[in-house]
Amino acid sequence: MTKNFFKYIIITLISYIIFTINIKTTAQQDILEIRKNYLEDKITNINEIENLEFQTEEENIIKNLTLFEFYIDKKSIEQALQYAKYLNSFFPINQLVNYRLAEYYYNLKNYEEAVKYSEECVKNDSRFHEARNLLANTYYILKDYQKALKHYKVLSWFKSDKEITTKLEYLSSQLGYNITTNGQKTINFSKIYTSTLTTNSPYIKVGISTKDNGKLIKIDAVKFYFSDDFEIYDDKNKKVIFCKGGIDNEWTILYRTQQKFFGIILNNEKNKELKIKSQYITIKPLSENSTFIIKEYKWFKSSFAVNKEFRGEIIVKHLKDQIVVINNIKIDEYLYSVVAKEIGKDKPQEALKAQAVVARTVALYRKNNNFHKYFDVCCGQHCQVYDAIKSETEQTINAVNKTIGEIVTHNDKIIHAFFHANCGGITSSAEKFFSNKEYLQPTYDIIKEESHTETQNYEIKNFYYWYLTPPKLLCKDSSFVHPGVSRWLRVIKKDELKKFLNSKLATVGKLKDIIIVSREDNGYIKKIKVVGSYKTITLNKEHKIRNIVASSLKSSSFIIEYNKNNDCYYFWGAGWGHGIGMCQSGACGLAEQQKSYKEIIQHYFKNTEIKKLY
């Protein structure tokens, strides 16, 4: 009896020791290692993971995400939903959870649930194209054609896809209107704000017949009307003709390529054509408050509707076989619109003021350094987005007027300023664009938990957590910042990615791996390798790295996961744009912390001064 009892005690003790050792070894397991094994389909016993306890919230989030994916891959929806509930408030992880649930219900033909989850993804991030595609397909099946059309349209802006085009054509025929019609409407003039503050503003020439990338749109004629009477001058500044203003007086200027002259269509004289031989012509209104509306551009027989109202003058230049239309405008009146287009009108006033000063600096720097051949700046993202009068608001006009004439300088010289939507937490140096500049150094938009102020330095210890469970950031945790701007996710089927890379990049053959070779300290990728069965390609240019998928990634700062169980690549990213100079989301975060526009500018541009030019 006693003997047996001792035996029992010893066995219990030994098994207890073994058990504790076991617990200890499993508890020390690395959740990232476990996730990696799961993604490679190497996990056999899921119970082992469920029982693990981790020290940090980050680790437990990754554990729950892995378990969620395990169950959704096994189609055990009850268990999957339990983990989904826990993960619901963690962005960007909830994007993957909601996307996978949407997909699950879509495949089950439970379309109401599929809509619910994919709508959530798109609401959080308008550029989560895969979720939008799923949403559009679901509405299409549900025969909600209005909504399907809306989402397919957005998708078509970012990539040309035969399937989407076919659906767009079908939907517009079902809904009874043609999506390719040019607007023939005539818009009326608005009352514009003018101020004596801009009396000394220098003029800037803005190319307005340009594409988003700064290249020229091929046109040979422009149709417009002025609110007031105006005059046309040739390149010797000689007046050519006086013209009537008003909404009923449409004017056309065209360029006769063969005969090499400008033609002005005299609409009051039975469309007679007045010929001018000149390198360019300038169209000047007779009143300060006059505006003009560009109705359309033409290229031979086809025309493109514009219907946009501008301040200032028009300059029309001719090249060999086309014309360039330029808006000659006071720089500050140009900024009324740019500030709204670039940062958004509903942002805090100090952030708008910082944007006004930086945008003025960008424009003048480009003007002084001849960035474009025929004008100072284009109207697209290539320089700064300019949408003329319709974007102006009281807030942006105020921000420009309160900083009138101010620019950012370094050693008394105007700086080569940059800005971008969101840096993801740490900005980049200018190294990747050109040799380094002292005033363009990494800036930390990270909030110290204890003091709630920004920190001066920070080391990313683990990129995985940086992207999936980021720390508190000025450019993330501000009420002015939309979640999908700071962190984002794209989910791309391996097969689709293979097709895209083979058609757009090079014949790589079967896609075997994508390897990140090197990064900047802030996570932005410097070099990436696409390994194919036929060829391996190395990419090291920012725009090439972002274009590794169809309808490009928001930034070159990301990690990649490949889930063997559903054959998908996950791109987990941070930030939006090149990451150099002022982070617009961070500017809003700083303004929210009561920082002035000068402090905001000095946060992003080190050792600089703000000077008043006029």
User: Which tokens belong to 183?
Assistant: 């607007």
| Beta carbon of residue 524, minimum distance to Zn ion (angstroms, whole number) | 12
**Beta strands 568-574; 323-330: pairing state:** unpaired
Task: Look at residues 77, 82, 124, 79 and name the one whose alpha carbon lies nearest to residue 101.
Answer: 77
Q: According to CB under 5 A, which one of 154, 214, 220, 257 is a site residue for Zn ion?
A: 214
Q: Which is nearer to Zn ion, 116 or 382 (CB)?
A: 382
Number of residues in contact with Zn ion, rule: CB under 5 A? 9
Cβ neighbourhood burial of 590 (10 Å; 0-12, 13-18, 19+): buried
From the DSSP assignment, how many helices (H) and strands (E) are in the chain? 19, 24
Alpha helix locations (H) across 224-380?
331-343, 349-368
Counting contacts by CB under 5 A, is residue 586 touching Zn ion? yes
Q: According to CB under 5 A, which one of 136, 306, 378, 407 is a site residue for Zn ion?
A: 378
Q: Which is nearer to Zn ion, 214 or 483 (CB)?
A: 214
Counting contacts by CB under 5 A, is residue 445 touching Zn ion? yes
Rounded to whole angstroms, the Cα distance separating 360 from 545 reads 30
Pick the stretch among 178-186, 268-276, 441-449, 532-540 that binds Zn ion (CB under 5 A). 441-449
| Beta carbon of residue 598, minimum distance to Zn ion (angstroms, whole number) | 18
| Beta carbon of residue 274, minimum distance to Zn ion (angstroms, whole number) | 32
Give the sign of the dihedral formed by CA 18, CA 19, CA 24, CA 28.
positive
Binding pattern for the stretch 404-433 against Zn ion, x by CB under 5 A and - elsewhere:
-------------------x----------
| Beta carbon of residue 578, minimum distance to Zn ion (angstroms, whole number) | 12
What distance lies between CA 509 and its chain's CA centroid? 31
Task: Look at residues 454, 464, 414, 441 and name the one whose alpha carbon lies nearest to residue 581.
Answer: 441
Binding pattern for the stretch 461-490 against Zn ion, x by CB under 5 A and - elsewhere:
--------------x---------------
Alpha helix locations (H) across 258-381?
331-343, 349-368
Rounded to whole angstroms, the Cα distance separating 576 from 424 reads 7
Counting contacts by CB under 5 A, is residue 579 touching Zn ion? no
Counting contacts by CB under 5 A, is residue 382 touching Zn ion? yes
Pick the stretch among 33-41, 94-102, 220-228, 375-383 that binds Zn ion (CB under 5 A). 375-383
Cβ neighbourhood burial of 463 (10 Å; 0-12, 13-18, 19+): middle
| Beta carbon of residue 520, minimum distance to Zn ion (angstroms, whole number) | 14
Pick the stretch among 114-122, 237-245, 387-395, 584-592 that binds Zn ion (CB under 5 A). 584-592
Please list, in sequence order, all residues whose beta carbon lies within 8 angstroms of the beta carbon of residue 374, skipping any fewer than 6 positions away: 207, 216, 317, 319, 324, 326
| Beta carbon of residue 89, minimum distance to Zn ion (angstroms, whole number) | 22
| Beta carbon of residue 207, minimum distance to Zn ion (angstroms, whole number) | 7
Q: According to CB under 5 A, which one of 135, 383, 421, 468 is a site residue for Zn ion?
A: 383
Counting contacts by CB under 5 A, is residue 324 touching Zn ion? no
Q: Which is nearer to Zn ion, 379 or 549 (CB)?
A: 379
Q: Which is nearer to Zn ion, 320 or 373 (CB)?
A: 373
* Neighbour-count burial for 204-229, b at 16+ CB within 10 Å, e otherwise: bbbbbbbeeebebeebbbbbbbbbbe
| Beta carbon of residue 257, minimum distance to Zn ion (angstroms, whole number) | 25
Counting contacts by CB under 5 A, is residue 542 touching Zn ion? no
Counting contacts by CB under 5 A, is residue 84 touching Zn ion? no
Pick the stretch among 189-197, 211-219, 401-409, 522-530 that binds Zn ion (CB under 5 A). 211-219
Cα dihedral angle (452, 456, 461, 464), rounded to 10 degrees?
60
End-to-end CA distance of the chain: 103
Q: Which residues pair with 377 in a beta bridge?
A: 206
Q: What residues make contact with Zn ion under the rule CB under 5 A?
A: 214, 378, 382-383, 423, 445, 475, 583, 586
